[in-house]
């Protein structure tokens, strides 16, 4: 099974506060997040990422980000196994 590519999304999120506050305490701007995950879908509606993908291709722990909130996105690429490192010869110890 081919795994979906890994993607990174920078996006502005709405936030709130349930405690008491004054107008001077209000952070009147979106909170910027960076999210990384398996790319489920990216289209004009938004971006869906998943934290996990199973052996059958099913996704788990889904995050949807509306397109209007997206600042930037990068598709990092598919997962690849690292190349095996060549063993460097062990230098002879001189006595």
pLDDT single digits (tens) 17-30: 788 888 888 888 99
Distance CA 69, CA 45 (A): 10
pLDDT single digits (tens) 39-65: 999 999 999 999 999 999 999 999 999
pTM here?
0.75
Distance CA 49, CA 29 (A): 24
- Residue 69: helix, strand or coil by DSSP? helix
Integer angstrom CA distances of residue 74 from 14, 35, 39, 42, 87: 22, 11, 10, 11, 34
């Amino acid at each position: 099974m081919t795994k979906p590519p890994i993607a990174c999304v920078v996006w502005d999120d709405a936030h709130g506060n349930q405690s008491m506050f004054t107008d001077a305490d209000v952070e009147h701007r979106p909170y910027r997040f960076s999210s990384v995950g398996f790319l489920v879908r990216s289209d004009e509606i938004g971006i869906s990422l998943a934290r996990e993908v199973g052996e059958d291709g099913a996704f788990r722990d889904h995050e949807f980000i509306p397109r209007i909130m997206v600042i930037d996105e990068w598709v990092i690429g598919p997962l690849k196994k690292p190349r095996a490192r060549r063993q460097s010869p062990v230098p002879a110890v001189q006595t």
